[in-house]
Amino acid sequence: MSGKPKLTYFNGRGRMESVRWLLAAAGVEFEEVFLETREQYLKLIQDGDLLFDQVPLVDIDGMKMVQTRAILSYIAGKHNLYGKDLKERALYIDTYVEGTMDLMQMILTLPFSLPEAKEKNLPLIIEKAKNRYFPAYEKVLKQHCQGFLVGNQLSWADVHLLEAILMVEEKDPTVLSEFPLLQGFKTRISNMPTIKKFLQPGSQRKPQPDDKYVATVMKILKEAMYYSI
């Protein structure tokens, strides 16, 4: 029994990727169990491991945690990535991560949308990134002037934003062209040792979802998972 957090999810990004990012940024080593068959998933449910019959599941500090936000908040709180007081936590960090979560959610559900929707939705996502989200964070960086989104040290908000930036850039490499401060932010945060390590090949960072990943998830969950934006 190691003390390391144990992550149970599909072998791909999905909702677990933000958890991998945050643990990595905090310098916390973790183990992973990959769901490959429906039987594995049903066994987790039978064993009572999944509070709401859903993954992500993270075994951490004696708790079987579910619900991505709850997991991320716990890790942030535990590893000093959640600001120094209530104001930093709620007004800034929680608000900022909700924005990046909305943006990343659009991308993570894209492979599961109806084919017609996929083609229409990608330009909408890029548009939202350029007109709604990135301008907001560019302005925060401009006004705050500390190199981080909140306070004067790395927080969950910075890690989450970097993850979102890289995700959107995979879809449109020019997306940061009008945002010089975000470009600087991206370089700086990417070069922080724990994050630099996570960005190297061989880390536990997962690649973009492919058809095989989508097929595996749908086979295991057997839910109609069509999302529209």
Partner 1 sequence: MEFTELESSLREQAIRSSLMAGKPKLYYFNGRGRMESIRWLLAAAGIEFVEEFLETREQYEKLLQDGALLFQQVPMVEIDGMKMVQTRAILGYIAAKHNLYGKDLKERALIDMYVEGTRDLIDLIRVHHKFSPEEQEKNLALINERATARYFPVYEKVLKDHGTEFLVGNQLTWADVQLIEAILMVEEKVSTVLSKFPLLQDFKTRICNIPTIKKFLQPGSQRKPPPDESYVVTANRVFNRK
Among 43, 69, 142, 212, binds partner 1 (CB under 8 A): 69
What CA–CA distance (Å, rounded) separates 216 from 213? 5
Residue with the two structure tokens 């933000």: 18
Shortest Å distance, C-beta 81 to partner 1: 13
Burial environment of residue 183 by CB neighbours within 10 A (0 to 12, 13 to 18, 19 or more): middle
Position 132 contacts partner 1 (CB under 8 A): yes
> Hey, what amino acid is at 151?
G
Looking at residue 53, what DSSP letter applies? S
Position 136 contacts partner 1 (CB under 8 A): yes
Among 6, 33, 59, 95, binds partner 1 (CB under 8 A): 95
Shortest Å distance, C-beta 147 to partner 1: 20
What CA–CA distance (Å, rounded) separates 111 from 73? 27
The smaller minimum CB distance to partner 1, of residues 24 and 93, is found at 93
What CA–CA distance (Å, rounded) separates 52 from 66? 8
Q: Which residues bind partner 1 (CB under 8 A)?
A: 51-53, 61, 63, 65-70, 73-74, 77-78, 86-87, 89-91, 94-95, 98-99, 102, 132-133, 136
